[in-house]
């Protein structure tokens, strides 16, 4: 199964907004409107779905969330699907998605991170759909850090195009931005210095391959299942090679450690020519 790249996003295209995991609570509604407006200011139409309720940990019952996401991924008028953010239990919709219809439809960009990885990983493995692991809708109004591209920049490129990114040399020491007190914020402080490094301390890495991976907190539960079978994916792309990428969201250091060991035992990293690890603020809990 070849990797299928969506057509380049361009002004006038329609972007779907749905919450396959957590919806948006009342406190975050002003930021949501700022984010939607930022897309419209770029010339895109925005289709906001019905699965957006933020009063609980999920936006709607699993069947309803799966149906809305399937609709958006198979609607030829929707060129990208961008959830507001991640959440906790997107895993419950995986058996309910219409995988055959998604695989048969014209490719649509799916953008996000955190619990969206729970959907993005199997989207690529089961349907060959290229996805964009990066910012989500709530983060879209943020100015890109020098050296790193916004998802709106990457989604406008044609299949086969090259993009170049580099370490910005700085990062935030705090994980979350105050989007409640400052719903219009676009340029938060990056107050700590740091760069991309090789963990063994040696020189640069020169590898090529298909990127596959996601958020450790959630995709660890897919390792060893059909939804996270990196070995099968690597077998189909043996000529290209596979680069596995992982990042952590909110789990503490010991939980991330156990999850990585479990993924390793399930063969998640075995076919990788390299592993990219996102910076994490995960800390050891006090004993």
CA distance 127 to 121: 10
> What is the percent of the chain where pLDDT is above 90?
81
CA distance 118 to 221: 9
pLDDT in tens, 113-156: 999 999 999 999 999 999 999 889 999 999 999 999 999 999 99
Q: What b/e readout covers 128-145, taking b as 16+ CB neighbours within 10 angstroms? A: bbbbbbbbbbbbbbbeeb
Joined tokens for residue 39: 């897309």
Where are the chain's structural domains? Answer: 14-154, 210-277
> Which residue is associated with the tokens 């439809």?
105
Rg of the chain on CA atoms, in Å: 18
Res 285 pLDDT > 60: no
pLDDT in tens, 189-246: 888 898 888 888 888 889 999 999 999 999 999 999 999 999 999 999 999 999 999 9
> Which residue is associated with the tokens 């897919």?
222
CA distance 168 to 93: 36
Comparing 124-128, 151-155, 174-178, 253-257, the range with the smallest average pLDDT is 174-178
Assign domain 14-154 one CATH number from 3.40.50.1370, 3.40.50.10740, 3.40.50.11030, 3.40.50.1860: 3.40.50.10740
Q: What pTM was estimated for this model as a whole?
A: 0.94
CA distance 157 to 209: 19
Res 287 pLDDT > 70: no
């Amino acid at each position: 199964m070849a990797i299928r790249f969506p057509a380049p996003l361009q002004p006038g295209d329609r972007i779907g907004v749905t919450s396959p995991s957590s919806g948006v609570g009342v406190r975050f509604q002003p930021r949501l409107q700022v984010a939607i407006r930022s897309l419209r200011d770029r010339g895109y139409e925005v289709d906001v779905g019905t699965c957006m309720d933020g009063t609980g940990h999920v936006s709607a019952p699993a069947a309803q969330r799966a149906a809305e996401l399937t609709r958006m991924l198979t609607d030829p008028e929707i060129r990208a699907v961008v959830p507001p953010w991640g959440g906790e239990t997107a895993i419950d919709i995986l058996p309910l998605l219409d995988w055959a219809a998604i695989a048969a439809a014209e490719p649509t960009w799916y953008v996000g991170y955190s619990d969206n990885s729970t959907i993005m990983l199997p989207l690529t493995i089961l349907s060959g759909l290229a996805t964009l692991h990066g910012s989500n809708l709530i983060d879209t109004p943020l100015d890109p850090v020098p050296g790193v591209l916004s998802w709106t920049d990457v989604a406008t490129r044609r299949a086969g195009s090259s993009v170049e990114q580099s370490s910005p040399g700085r990062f935030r020491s705090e994980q979350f931005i105050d989007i409640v007190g400052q719903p219009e914020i676009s340029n938060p402080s990056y107050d700590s210095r740091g760069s991309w490094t090789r963990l063994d301390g040696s020189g640069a890495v020169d590898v090529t391959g298909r990127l596959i991976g996601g958020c450790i907190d959630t995709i660890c539960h897919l390792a060893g299942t059909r939804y996270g079978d990196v070995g099968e994916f690597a077998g189909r792309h043996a000529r290209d090679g596979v680069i596995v990428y992982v990042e952590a969201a909110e789990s503490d250091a010991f939980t991330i450690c156990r999850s990585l060991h479990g993924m390793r035992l399930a063969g998640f990293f075995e076919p990788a020519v390299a592993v990219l690890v996102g910076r994490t603020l995960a800390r050891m809990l006090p004993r």
